[in-house]
Structure formats: C-alpha cells, structure tokens
Amino acid sequence: MTKRAAAALSITLALGALPAASAAPGPAAAPAVVLKIASIAPERSPWGKALEKVAAEWERLSNGAVRVRIFPGAIAGNEQDMIRKMRLGVLQGGVFSSMGLAKVDPSLTVLSIPFLFRSREEFNSVFERVTPTLEKTIEGKGFHVVLWTLAGWVNFFTKGPVVDPDDLKKFKMSVTADFPDIEQVWKRMGFEVVTGEEKTLLIQLQSGAASGAYLPPLLAASGQYFPLVPHMFGPSLAPLVGGLLLSGRAWASLPAELHQPFLEAVVSAARGLYDETMALEADAVKMMKENGLVVHDAPPDMLAKWYETADRAVDKLIGPVFSKELYDRVVGYVQEYRKDRGR
C-alpha cells in the first residue's frame, strides 16, 4: 500500500569462476546465482527479519552457489514497480501484499473482499483449499509462489464513530488508488471514496479532503494518522495476504535438488510471522487507545447489515475481476466451514 519512487536497479547475475588449484587449467566452477528480492516491508519489520533469515539459509544450503540480496522498505519501488522489474529480470523476487498480488492477476482480489472472512481460522481453512488454483493462476503469469501468509487485517478509521453502514456515509474515505477494484466495492456500498497514496494521506486528512481511511492498525499507528481519525470500527474488514514470489525464470535457474530445501527454509523463517505481526498490532491498538483512539464494536444485527451491503456490492466484480466459478467456490468453502462449526 506504499508508493515511493526508486531508482532503477541494473540487471545482474553474478558470474565468477574459482581459480584452479594447480598451474594446469581446469574447469571453471559453476557460476553463483544472485537473487535480488525486494519488499515494501521495512528492514526491521517481521517480514524484513524473515527475509534476512531466508537469505542466510539459502546461501548455506547451496554452499554459496545461491546468494540473496534484499532491498527492503520500498527502495526498489512500489509493488507495481517490483512486478515490472521482475518481468524485466532486474529483480528476481519480491514480497507482496494483497494489492501487489492482485496486480499479478486481478482474480486474486477475491481474497480482499470486505467482510467475506471473519476469523483467521476461517480464512486459513478456505485459503488452503483454494491455494492450488491461485498458484496455477500466478504461474501462468510467469511467477512462482514461494510462500503465502496471512499478514494481518484492515479496519476503518474515521473522524467520528461508525457502527451502522449509514454512519460511514457521513465520511469521505481515503483508499489507495492502486487497488481500484476494492475502491469500486466501497463506492457500490454507497460510500464516498477519495483516492490517494500513503504519502498524501496525512495531507488529505489535515485538509479535510478525506475524513476516514481504510488501513491496517499498524499503519494507522506508525504513520500517526489516528490522531486525525480517532475512531476505529472494531470488526476486521478484510485480510492482508502476504506472498513471497520469484519470477518463473529465477525459480527455474535454481538447481532442482534445492527447491524443496529452499521452500522448507522459507516456511521455517516465516513461522510465527502472523503471530508476531498480530502482537505488534495489539500493542499498536493499545498505544492508540491510550492516546485517544475509540474502538467501536458492532452488535450481531448490525454486522448482518454490513454483510448484506457488502454482498450486493461484490456482485459487480463477478466477471470483470474474478470469475463466477472462483467466487462461488470461495464462498462455498466459507459456508462449509461455518456449517461444520454450527455457525
């Protein structure tokens, strides 16, 4: 969700032959492969630390034949820039949010439908079943999925209290211009939406151009937006999905015998990533509440009204953004999960 300008990175594939041990000429060692992996996550964030672990482990597992260079904090550009550079071969990998994944293929927007998933457990159950389809879609676009993870949730932050959908109609909601399909969902739900970037959000809120924002709580706290929008709608609206992708070419360039060890190393490095992120989010909400944030929960009858409103809006995305077959399958998995648990 961050947009920053970044200088173009040159294409490199480090080639180096080890000198022969004797005076007689001998065969050159296989060239080392350098993987440049970019991320919008800051260096010291949970994702940043996990990537550093991955880089060290991949180099160890390959005895130095594979080296990883990390470009954190959006220094390689925003998510769309990263995708473009991966296609050009300037980058070999990237860590993407829901927004970036939807840039790879719009059908992945199905994961970001507001109010579709209501808990981590529900999301994980459904996502596990739909993952093969989504991975096949991404591979068809020239990318390889190395890791999926649930990276958090998104909430409303507004200048005044919001409990009923009609309450939100009083505010102008700022959403990122890079996620137009979700922007259309909010508009079709009857809400006034203004688009922008993270770097312009503060100005929008200060000037009155916007009076609300669609943000993860960690960003609301770290960006110091919450003093301007000190009311948070308590229920989580949509999951934030994180993904580590390599280009198909980069994945194919790795020795086949390293594929499985590399995947296992990534899973190990990412273990606890969601829990760490949610712990940081809980700390952020606690800090914001201590500094004036008011969290508003919604009673069951009001949540039902939100769900109905969102369902009507999503109908317009079926066909243009994701197929009816994919949407019906995801919704069917959600309904099965709830039925199995008597919900």
Question: Does residue 10 fall inside a structural domain?
Answer: no
Please give the Cα distance from 145 to 263 (Å, whole number). Answer: 10
Residue 14 covered by a domain: no
Residue 250 lies in a domain: yes
Write the DSSP assignment of 245-282 as a string of letters.
EEEHHHHHHS-HHHHHHHHHHHHHHHTTHHHHHHHHHH
**pLDDT band at 268; cut points 50, 70, 90:** very high
Q: What is the pLDDT of residue 151?
A: 85
Q: Which domain holds residue 295?
A: 33-340
At 38 the three-state DSSP class reads strand
191-219 tens-digit pLDDT: 999 988 778 899 999 999 999 999 999 99
Condensed to tens digits (0 to 9), the pLDDT of residues 70-112 reads 999 989 999 999 999 999 999 999 999 888 999 999 999 999 8
Q: Do 263 and 146 form a contact (C-beta atoms < 8 A)?
A: yes
- Within 8 A by CB and 6+ apart from 38, the residues are 70, 71, 72, 74, 75, 76, 77, 82, 85, 91, 93, 94, 95
CA-to-CA separations, 97 to 17, 47, 169, 245, in angstroms, rounded: 38, 11, 28, 11
SS3 content of the chain, % helix, strand, coil (to 5): 50, 20, 35
pLDDT score of 320 more than 50: yes
User: Residue 210 gets which letter from DSSP?
Assistant: -
Query: What is the secondary structure of 116-176 as a DSSP string?
Result: S--SHHHHHHHHHHHHHHHHHHHHHTTEEEEEEEEEEEEEEEESS---SHHHHTTSEEEEE
Residue type, 289: K
Q: Is residue 230 part of a domain?
A: yes
For residue 17, is it within any domain?
A: no
| 297, part of any domain | yes
**3 falls within a domain:** no
DSSP track, 299-336: -HHHHHHHHHHHHHHHGGGBTTTB-HHHHHHHHHHHHH
This prediction has a pTM of: 0.83
* Residue 109 included in any domain: yes
Write the CATH number for 284: 3.40.190.170
Position with higher pLDDT, 24 vs 32: 32
Number of structural domains found in the chain: 1
